[in-house]
Structure 1
């Protein structure tokens, strides 16, 4: 089952606020008058006392998560080596504008994603062709295109901006006719006791420094992993993914290029699905038997 924590926080804030507010408007004065007449201290009913105590706490948490920073946990290896399984990250919620909690509609525009940004977004669903029309589905095989899209947060790197021409063929990435340069760093070195690391070691993964050019001509240099012996993702363009990124959309890819389900599989990521920009690793949990916590990753800026 999928839970939208922002929606839960919003619901609790409303419930606690309504209970506390209605009591103060219609019941508190009478209760206080009776207590004063009896020479006793006024006592709130248990539900009202809980609502009064919890409302400001839940409201502050809701505001911080919705408009300042929200924590996320990395569940898979699709962003290795930049982000590892078990990394806990913070996401800047106002980098691209302020959005209503739970509903995610933008009401204040601040900025737009840049090429190379690592972004968190609500998964838009897989593209399925139904009677000549592309629809979003939660079923990757498209055997059941009516399957609902799960309410899940994903994290990838922005590769293509609206209007960009993107071509992807295996290792080769081209943006607006220019091949994106990448320099070999060396073989991947990881802990074979961890599943994702063991897979990369067995598949002979290599690390590369990729140089993405931003709109203002700067270079975003970041590590990517390649292991073509493992998988061959679809190319772009394809029948489901056009070369030109549509307006209001972004093309995103994982840094673990051969082990990432991303825009190559399900097309562009709509702007309205954006949750924010990842900027910091605040904890890295390796698990029992693998060192527990990787202190070397704590405080690492994500770029």
Structure 2
């Protein structure tokens, strides 16, 4: 699922705007404002000298223009005024988006029923460590993704795209998916049948189950008329040798520094089964809440 960013397409856009407005703001504070002050002082001295000369000649000077002259010279040009106003706003958005939280919009159905098309979600950017914006380099360790987390990451095939899936396997895990059921490190995952799920996007019913993955219960969907795996869609990817595939089963051992991701709409999700593992360097953050869905306000709430 290719996520749609809310605050622009790239962190680089905000960064460039922040740098431009910040440079203008600093230039004004440390250089231009002082130049205007000196120009105003010089104009006022000339104004005062002229008035003193008039007074010495017995002519009453008009001093009402003094404040107006000073204000006119000290007034910021429009381009500096706007830059100074926008800089703190842009800087705040950049910091929030880069280090704390980032909003996204769900555009497709690979995470149904957990996330629906049109959901606006908030992603915790520091849950898995503090990373430098743009380059996404981790500089402070905080935590690691856990099985069951809903995680946003850079798509390994195209780093310009953000994807969202559920963490199924962490480094060292042996993941087996057979007859549409997961086994992790030799232990079958628990499944509880639920009522069939009606897909609003496509008027068909899906088999629905409650999957309990490492103590994280969440709903998943299966489609009866689809195979466990479409072998024709499996790509070559790094560490491909760590996986074994058949039509009804695959087994993968998750390499160090990587994660195995799957969509909750199991038969309608392109995920690690097809394009491979997600390296730690690709991690964006943990999806924590649906904060709006204009078509369905009841969707607002935490993500499980």
Relative to the length of structure 2, the TM-score reads 0.79
Unaligned residue ranges in structure 2 (runs of 5+):
44-68, 243-251
Residues 30 and 64 of structure 1: is their aligned pair in 2 closer, same or farther, counting only changes over 3 Å? same
Q: Point out the structure with the larger helix share.
A: 2
Offset of 1:36 from its aligned partner? 3.6
Matches within 5 A, 1:1-303: 4-38=9-43, 39-41=69-71, 42-125=74-157, 149=158, 151-191=160-200, 195=201, 197-198=202-203, 201=204, 204-213=205-214, 219-230=215-226, 232-234=228-230, 240=237, 241=240, 242=242, 243-285=252-294, 293-298=295-300, 300-303=301-304
C-alpha separation in 1, matches of 2:111 and 2:284: 17
- Structure 2 SS opposite 1:85: coil
Mapped contact 2:111–2:265 kept (Cα < 8 A): yes
C-alpha separation in 2, matches of 1:66 and 1:231: 40
Offset of 1:51 from its aligned partner? 1.5
Unaligned residue ranges in structure 1 (runs of 5+):
126-148, 214-218, 286-292
RMSD: 2.0
38-47 or 106-115, which moves further after superposition? 38-47
Structure 1 outlier segments of 4+, above 4 Å = 237-240
Mapped contact 1:228–1:258 kept (Cα < 8 A): no
C-alpha separation in 1, matches of 2:85 and 2:194: 55
Residues 185 and 36 of structure 1: is their aligned pair in 2 closer, same or farther, counting only changes over 3 Å? same
C-alpha separation in 1, matches of 2:78 and 2:293: 40
C-alpha separation in 1, matches of 2:17 and 2:42: 35
Greater gyration radius: 2
- Structure 2 SS opposite 1:10: helix
Residues 246 and 234 of structure 1: is their aligned pair in 2 closer, same or farther, counting only changes over 3 Å? farther
- Structure 2 SS opposite 1:296: helix
Mapped contact 1:226–1:258 kept (Cα < 8 A): yes
C-alpha separation in 2, matches of 1:47 and 1:238: 52
Offset of 1:170 from its aligned partner? 4.1
Offset of 1:4 from its aligned partner? 3.7
C-alpha separation in 2, matches of 1:25 and 1:88: 42
1:37-61, CA deviations, whole angstroms, 9 ceiling, x for partnerless residues? 3332112222221211111000111
Q: How many residues align?
A: 257
Mapped contact 1:4–1:102 kept (Cα < 8 A): no
Residues 173 and 55 of structure 1: is their aligned pair in 2 closer, same or farther, counting only changes over 3 Å? same
C-alpha separation in 1, matches of 2:179 and 2:41: 79
- Structure 2 SS opposite 1:35: helix
C-alpha separation in 2, matches of 1:294 and 1:150: 31
27-36 or 73-82, which moves further after superposition? 27-36
Mapped contact 2:263–2:270 kept (Cα < 8 A): yes
Mapped contact 1:4–1:151 kept (Cα < 8 A): no
Mapped contact 1:20–1:48 kept (Cα < 8 A): yes
- Structure 2 SS opposite 1:258: helix
Residues 5 and 239 of structure 1: is their aligned pair in 2 closer, same or farther, counting only changes over 3 Å? closer
